[in-house]
Structure 1
Amino acid sequence: MGWASMVAVLLAATPTFVTRGDVTPESELRREAEAGWASLEAVYSAEAGGAPTKAPASILLQRGAALSSERNAQGRPGLVELRQNTPGVLDERLRVALRHELAHQLLWWACPQSSEDRLFHEAFAVAVSGELPAWREGGYQSLSRAASELAASPAVDSTRARRALARLLSESVGFPKALSRRLRQCHDGARWVVPLSIDELAEVEVRAAGPATVVVSRHSGEVLLSEGEVRRALPYGSVLKPFVYAAGVGHPVLAPRVDVQEWSCGPGLPAKVDARTALLRSCNGYFLDWEAAGSAPRALGAWGPVLSALGMTGTPADMADMVGLRSTLSLSPWGLAQAYRLLAEARPDVLALLADNADRGTLAELPASKALSGVATKTGTVRDAASRPQYGWIAAVDGDLVVVAVRPGKMPRQFAEEIPAALARARKQAGVEAARVQVLGLVPAREVEARCPGVGFSVDGGMPKPSLMEWTRLETLTTKGAAVCLGAPWRVRFPKGPEDGRDYAGVFTWSPPLAYRPPEGVPTSPSAMKARRGSDFVFRTTRLQYTAGVVAAEDVTLKGEPRVALARVVAHNERHSRHPGRAVCDTTHCQAFRGTVRVQRDDAKALGMPALKWREWLLFSQGGEEPWRQERPRGEVERLLGRGLVSLRFEAGRVNYLLTERDGTATYEDGRSLPCELLRSGLKLPSCPRTASFNGSVLVFEGRGRGHGEGLDVEAAKASGLRSDAILEAAYGKKRPEPRDVDGE
């Protein structure tokens, strides 16, 4: 970029500073802010490899009315609040505080993907604001002590934490290399999946690693259990061998070399070893000889970009790096768990192979082996120069969960019993099993777009294919295999939906249904035809996430026992789909689902209760007694019921109506009857009307409440004061509604 172009970009990225007169002198404050911003831009440009292209249009500088005693300033995007002890005096303390907060402002706009990384933000602000010398004053602090202080205060919002941060930054000669790397990541627009770590910032391992365990949902990707520093990258040992296996093609059968230590893979090793045996035995010699034969994948093949995006600290140079014989590269337990989640989607055959590990692999013949039978597991051991275990790793995957555990100083077989225990603890959270739902069927498939704020992949032929960071047609992402977003929910948008999309924490697949043919003689609107057909997209998440999403779509304010009652019905219906042989749909033909939401305590309580005794679809509606009045053109009503409409009458959940018919020269009135729900859903009326009247070319419908009025009445439940069991018994116990072709809510 030429100098003129650089100047133009910098000018375009410089905000306007606005003052209110409560920090004085105002003109000097604005000049100080402009000079500080220019200095920050220069640092960013030099370290990131280019100037920031975005900045806030304006930043308000004002007096902070509620600053804590430890703070000289604070801010949020577009606003900086300052403490001025002496009116009219901009002392050095205030100037430093201003530059510190402006550093945050710069990152919020130049690097929005890092906005949740508190350590990165604070490290950059401390490094560029000129405050480092002041923090160095005081007694000596060791690196390990500083690291411990920082680990105890991840928000870096105390004096002790900032002094510890300054201690780590003072190890660098010049601008910290870790921050330079991260700023280049900002400028490249790369995803910010792995936050800055203390060890990365210090450029050395300054703290001994402790035990760490993470449990991730295979379905939603959410972290269900986290103990220890699960985001800290550590040497990984053999736990990446399944990815080497998955990346390979035409795995050879090799003869063991008995005089080579790396071929010491347990007793009874056959004379010819195939890749499956080598993987279960974790046989290093096989993988090294595979590479020597020239047919092994390089740098983990298609799985290299996956692991790199999840925080692996470098690219493997050779097989010794890939299988962890050298401790040159590291990966966090969280990153490994996410990688195994994707492996489970792309290569179920590899997971099926690893399910034998507790029977005839590295975890066989242990007290825990029986509990781990059928669970896909892989072990890894990182050894020091004296062959003592530095870190033991176990990755485990069952039908719903991924567990990764790291234990310093232990062999995997020494803590194998902790894996079933971790799985059991995670399963104490109700609803971790899978729920499948046909989604977005009312929208043409070509108009649905998705974007992964984390690390997105689509599966193609058993291999992961990175998805673009931009909005992409969901059809494109799913036609070859599953679409998985690691580290965040998918964002999904479509015309007339929310502009920034909806969250879908789970896995998408492409599964077109058969064409739907309505029963002969039953009027069906185009929208109802789409709903009854189902969708090309099937979405998988946890049963709890699905239930919470449906309840929120029905009534986001619902709480207490009525919410528990509705959640129990929703979870029940997910297992009794109205689409034979296919997943439940997300329209009101089944039960509305508009993406995943924050789970409420009542939702979890509901799924922890016993299953309902009924064995069919249970209807529910919002209900209530709120009056409504709506008009519909006569032609629209007649397209649904037939031409020549004379009258309508409503009773017992049905609409009875008369049509004028002609037979030759004779004219007569023909009486007909249909479920009222067909009229309600076809005309999009709030509920089944109580009356209908003709007013020229329109029909006027009047009624009360919302929904079809069958089954559970949500508004009545809210007013009942009953517990969920009593609410459900009142709705379904005495006169259980039989499932029929009406909408679910």
Structure 2
Amino acid sequence: MGLAVTVAVLLAATPTFVTRGDVTPEADLRREAQAAWTALASRYVEAAGGAPSKAPASITLQKGAALSPQRNGQGRPGWVELRQNTPGVLDERLRLALRHELAHQFLWWACPQSSEDRLFHEAFAVAVSGELPAWKEGPYLSLSRAASDLARSPDVDTPRARRALARVLSESASGFPAALSRRLRQCQDGARWASPLSIDELAGVGVRAATPATVVLSRHSGEVLWSEGDVQRALPYGSVLKPFVYAAGARHPVLPPRAGVQEWACGAGLPAQVDARVAMLRSCNGYFLDWEAQGSAPKAFGVWGPVLGALGLTRMPEDMADTIGLRSTVSVSPWGVAQAYRLLAEARPDVIALLADNAARGTLSDLPASKALAGVATKTGTVRDAASRPQFGWIAAVDADLVVVVMRPGVMPRQFADEVPRALARARKQAGLDAARVQVLGLLPPGDVEARCAGAGFALEDGVPRAGTEAWSPLASLTRRGAAVCLGAPWRVRFPGGPEEGRDYAGVFISSAPPPYRPPPGVPTTPSALKARRGSDFIFRTTRLQYTAGVVSAEDVTLTGEARIALARVVAHNEQHSRHPHRPVCDTTHCQAFRGTVRVRAEESKAVGMAPLKWRQWLTFSQGGEEPWRQERSRAEVERLLGQGLVSLRFEAGRVNFLRTESDGDATFESARSLPCDLLRSGLKLPSCPRTASFNGASLVFEGRGRGHGEGLDVEAAKASGGRSDAILEGAYGP
């Protein structure tokens, strides 16, 4: 498609602008919006070389009801709010705000993968809205000072930050930064947005001295638990990525050290024959260079090259000296290193086990911090200048639950090794970061479940990472030969009958078929109940905190305060007392509902940090309450569960007691039976265990109160009690 045709197609794809009558004149406002969109479309085609394939949705333009004094506009996808100082007048301030907010709308439409990249969005909006000259006015601002101001305000939501952004944008001689053009082409290509736009990338030059950076990730959920400094800035990495060379190697030679060669200066007592384990712990550059000389070493990180590339490695290394950081020609960010180690820990536990010896026998041995690092997998890296002075020191660390990456400029790793246990301890001030496992999506045919990763998704195949796509893929295929891991974002999961946009699952999926389930003899079981009791083919791992928050939200999103804490404590307890022997807890009402990960609330954070509950078994709970209900079911439905010839039913102590007419030869008699009431409730999909049942011709009428099986913790009663969680739980389960 030629450029002129592409422009024509894109210009025709103008959204419908809807006005509400509160910004006037409406017709002029819509014309202004259409003209602004046309200009944005032209700029996009010129930079990106093509047009988005989908049509834009409508956009509502309305008056902002709660704009801060510093803002003349704000928006979210499909909505723009504007400040109009004088009714009936579209002054230049309003027009600029409209163009700025429409630039965000355009990117949300044309480049959804960049929606979380605040700097890219703001840089594009400032560059195309016409507001750049206004922000450039004022006293001279050096580029380094502008970069520093911008780094302190990554949301770019203050006048000072906007002025700093304008200064960085002014570095472009062409008027439109090359970095934005490259990123827009990335939008058009549908490429992953693996790393956000950086200030250095936007300016086209390195404008800031590196500052200390620390990032801590959860191995289980992948979330960034805390970070300090510019963890997204790519820097030379030294030896910190050597484990990925080791992991990529098909075989590891045993090599003799070469006397007098600087790269073989790997500490005292080096054995006469050095294997890969010793070379890794001692960080022997000579081993890796000689391995390459033999011709059997992996090139450019081997199978791990695409992983590091997706995480922001600035380019693929040309040789082993590049790969192991002897030359400062390739860079990656602390965030990217942390994400890569998270995947390495999932794919190659043997490599992590090797690195766990580093504090005892490697580059972090014989230090005051070595004892605190015992059992923690660590790898160091040092980047040196021409005079062999340290430019950047790196330490990557992995324990059972966390990944930590610490980068310090101008310092050797051994000098700041004590910061790693401090970072781990700081993260663990939040309880519940250990792993929780749950069988998920078991009520669905496995082939109906699809997943996609907005970050960098990988399917592990016998320890080898295979890059996924951003498109929806069958979860069964992603987990066929190993774990499915999404780096930098949660998995998005969808299935027929569920939300079209899917649900978030921040964690790791594996495939694990459950054993066959056979219901106890004589116990009526519906097909749905059979599926729930069987379990699922998919096991999902996240943090105990994330799991607890997800269950509480699924069970009762409105719950607050001590009642929410009480339920959260029960949920966290039950995860350790599964109803499935030798299998994780399930996500259906047979166990406790879980519909993906959600934002954690303060109550869940507090609950998982409290003392474990004293009971040693599964604790039941239900919505409860006293709201009356009345529902009718056909006699045939009921008799499918309880058997033919039903005569009467009554309910007491959580059981349904019933009489059936039975025959034995010529004799007819009534037989008394009893079953757990929850079998009847779940089989007939009744709100709770009924209190009464009456026959009404070919039907039965059930009446009851509340919701759920009525056993254990009554959530509605907990809401009304006003008590502390300990008292609520003792009232539910006994002292």
* TM-score bin (small chain): over 0.9
Provide the residue aligned with 2:423 in structure 1: 422
2: CA distance, partners of 1:426 / 1:328:
33
The 1:58–1:559 alpha-carbon spacing in structure 2 relative to 1, beyond 3 Å, is closer
The 1:247–1:728 alpha-carbon spacing in structure 2 relative to 1, beyond 3 Å, is same
Counterpart residue type for residue 636 of structure 2:
G
22-31 or 249-258: which moved more?
22-31
2: CA distance, partners of 1:704 / 1:474:
40
Shift of 1:78: 3.9
The 1:26–1:491 alpha-carbon spacing in structure 2 relative to 1, beyond 3 Å, is closer
723-732 or 241-250: which moved more?
723-732
TM-score by length of 2: 0.96
337-346 or 22-31: which moved more?
22-31
Asked if 1:379 corresponds to 2:417, the answer is no
Provide the residue aligned with 1:518 in structure 2: 519
137-146 or 346-355: which moved more?
137-146
1: CA distance, partners of 2:675 / 2:61:
66
2: CA distance, partners of 1:327 / 1:677:
66
The 1:522–1:599 alpha-carbon spacing in structure 2 relative to 1, beyond 3 Å, is same
Provide the residue aligned with 2:223 in structure 1: 222
Task: Check conservation: 1:13, 1:53, Cα contact below 8 A.
Answer: no
Question: What root-mean-square deviation, in Å, do the aligned CA atoms of Structure 1 and Structure 2 show?
Answer: 2.1
Q: Please, which runs of 5 or more residues in structure 1 have no aligned partner?
A: 735-745
1:80-119 deviation line (CA, Å, top 9, x unaligned)? 4556667777666555444333322321211122122221
1:558-588 deviation line (CA, Å, top 9, x unaligned)? 1111111111111111111111111111112
Shift of 1:349: 0.6
**1:385 alignment partner, SS class:** coil
1:304-340 deviation line (CA, Å, top 9, x unaligned)? 1111111222222221221111112221111111111
**1:370 alignment partner, SS class:** coil
The 1:333–1:643 alpha-carbon spacing in structure 2 relative to 1, beyond 3 Å, is same
Provide the residue aligned with 2:291 in structure 1: 290
338-347 or 315-324: which moved more?
315-324
81-90 or 159-168: which moved more?
81-90
Asked if 1:166 corresponds to 2:185, the answer is no
1:320-366 deviation line (CA, Å, top 9, x unaligned)? 22111111222111111111111111001100111111111111111
1: CA distance, partners of 2:279 / 2:513:
40
Task: Check conservation: 2:148, 2:208, Cα contact below 8 A.
Answer: yes
**1:352 alignment partner, SS class:** helix
Provide the residue aligned with 2:45 in structure 1: 45
Task: Check conservation: 1:56, 1:78, Cα contact below 8 A.
Answer: no
Counterpart residue type for residue 47 of structure 2:
E
Counterpart residue type for residue 559 of structure 1:
T
1:623-661 deviation line (CA, Å, top 9, x unaligned)? 111111111221121111111111111112211111111
**1:214 alignment partner, SS class:** strand
505-514 or 678-687: which moved more?
678-687
Shift of 1:4: 6.1
Shift of 1:475: 0.8
The 1:76–1:394 alpha-carbon spacing in structure 2 relative to 1, beyond 3 Å, is same
Counterpart residue type for residue 663 of structure 1:
D
- How many residues are treated as equivalent by the alignment? 734
Provide the residue aligned with 2:694 in structure 1: 693
Task: Check conservation: 1:9, 1:53, Cα contact below 8 A.
Answer: no
The 1:681–1:91 alpha-carbon spacing in structure 2 relative to 1, beyond 3 Å, is closer
Provide the residue aligned with 2:400 in structure 1: 399
2: CA distance, partners of 1:732 / 1:644:
38
1:104-162 deviation line (CA, Å, top 9, x unaligned)? 23212111221222211121122223333343333221111111111222222232222
Task: Check conservation: 2:3, 2:49, Cα contact below 8 A.
Answer: no
Task: Check conservation: 1:55, 1:106, Cα contact below 8 A.
Answer: no
Counterpart residue type for residue 504 of structure 2:
D
**2:528 alignment partner, SS class:** helix
Task: Check conservation: 2:11, 2:38, Cα contact below 8 A.
Answer: no
Task: Check conservation: 1:44, 1:52, Cα contact below 8 A.
Answer: no
Asked if 1:148 corresponds to 2:141, the answer is no
181-190 or 56-65: which moved more?
56-65
Provide the residue aligned with 1:569 in structure 2: 570
Task: Check conservation: 2:238, 2:382, Cα contact below 8 A.
Answer: yes
Provide the residue aligned with 1:357 in structure 2: 358
2: CA distance, partners of 1:268 / 1:228:
38
443-452 or 34-43: which moved more?
34-43
455-464 or 256-265: which moved more?
256-265
1: CA distance, partners of 2:703 / 2:26:
63
2: CA distance, partners of 1:28 / 1:653:
68
1:395-433 deviation line (CA, Å, top 9, x unaligned)? 100111111111111111001111111111111111011
TM-score by length of 1: 0.94
The 1:587–1:96 alpha-carbon spacing in structure 2 relative to 1, beyond 3 Å, is closer
Shift of 1:31: 4.9
The 1:400–1:59 alpha-carbon spacing in structure 2 relative to 1, beyond 3 Å, is closer
Provide the residue aligned with 1:622 in structure 2: 623
Counterpart residue type for residue 618 of structure 1:
L
Provide the residue aligned with 1:448 in structure 2: 449
1: CA distance, partners of 2:63 / 2:733:
61
The 1:24–1:664 alpha-carbon spacing in structure 2 relative to 1, beyond 3 Å, is closer
2: CA distance, partners of 1:722 / 1:34:
58
Shift of 1:29: 5.4
Provide the residue aligned with 1:707 in structure 2: 708
Counterpart residue type for residue 659 of structure 2:
L
Counterpart residue type for residue 232 of structure 2:
R
96-105 or 317-326: which moved more?
96-105
2: CA distance, partners of 1:703 / 1:110:
53
Provide the residue aligned with 2:589 in structure 1: 588
Provide the residue aligned with 1:104 in structure 2: 104
Shift of 1:480: 0.3
Provide the residue aligned with 1:124 in structure 2: 124
**2:259 alignment partner, SS class:** coil
Counterpart residue type for residue 269 of structure 2:
G
Shift of 1:525: 1.6
Counterpart residue type for residue 201 of structure 2:
E
Counterpart residue type for residue 471 of structure 1:
W
Shift of 1:679: 1.4
**1:431 alignment partner, SS class:** coil
The 1:682–1:150 alpha-carbon spacing in structure 2 relative to 1, beyond 3 Å, is same
The 1:2–1:633 alpha-carbon spacing in structure 2 relative to 1, beyond 3 Å, is same
Counterpart residue type for residue 496 of structure 2:
P
Matched ranges for 1:48-197 at <5 A: 48-54=48-54, 56-61=56-61, 68-81=68-81, 95-174=95-174, 175-197=176-198
1:595-618 deviation line (CA, Å, top 9, x unaligned)? 111111111111111111111111
2: CA distance, partners of 1:575 / 1:641:
33
